[in-house]
Amino acid sequence: MYKLIFITMYALACSQEKPEFLNDTYPAHEYHDSDQKNIAVAKTVEQSHSSNNQNQVTTDSKIKKVTPMRKEVDFFGPPSNDEYQAQTLWAQTITEYALSYDYVNHKQHFYLMRPFFDQSGWHDLSGVVRDRFNNVEQKHQISKVTSTQPLTWIKHHHGDKFSLHQGSMPVMITFSPENITTYSNLHLSIKCNLMKKCLIHSLSVQNDKLQ
């Protein structure tokens, strides 16, 4: 009887497919202030984990206040991006850095990135890496992602406990050492709590054009 239960549980566990790098142990996600600047965001995470400090990463400056929380309100049409400058810089920096990595040393890179993604965003990132960046056979071992235009917010959802912000930006993806370049549209969303601390909630790359 116990053997049958064990076999059943094992089969169910094996049926839940996980992307390769998710099989490793990475830090749990944490909400972060979205006013951190440039690659200093990742450096802050690196310093935090190197000192075994699991406290949430914060900065001295306060994030710019966003629209007050309201239940299920959609903003149709292009909202004012000036209102979301802090979130724009944060999301653009995190996604560019997350997708710019050396595949050979990818474990440490994703260890640093994990706290900036919630569970949904982490699985999306793994899918993008698996489908578009993990091309070892062609020796595309290093990728660099840079935006060709700023991130543009498309829609905002405000709820009682969280807000969800959806946007997109055109990016240039370069694979080394072959210097193969593609131009794509990167779609993402960030989820922020009542304290205006945010996580990447979804991520996808579309419309590749080989150069």
Domain ranges of the chain: 22-210
Tens-binned pLDDT, residue by residue, of the chain (211 aa):
544 343 334 333 333 333 444 445 555 555 555 444 444 544 444 444 444 333 333 322 332 333 322 223 333 334 455 667 778 888 888 899 888 887 777 778 888 888 889 999 999 998 888 777 665 555 556 788 999 998 988 888 888 888 888 999 999 988 877 778 889 899 999 998 877 788 999 999 887 555 4
164-179: b (≥16 Cβ within 10 Å) or e: ebebbbebebbbeeee
Which residues are within 8 A (CB) of 168 and not within 5 positions of it... i.e. 6 or more apart?
151, 152, 154, 185, 186, 187, 188
Closest CA to 168 of 46, 81, 42, 56: 81
Numbers of helices and strands, H then E, in the chain: 5, 8
Helix (H, G, I), strand (E, B) or coil at 182: strand
Question: Two tokens at 59?
Answer: 């900065």
pTM: 0.63
CA distance 156 to 77: 10
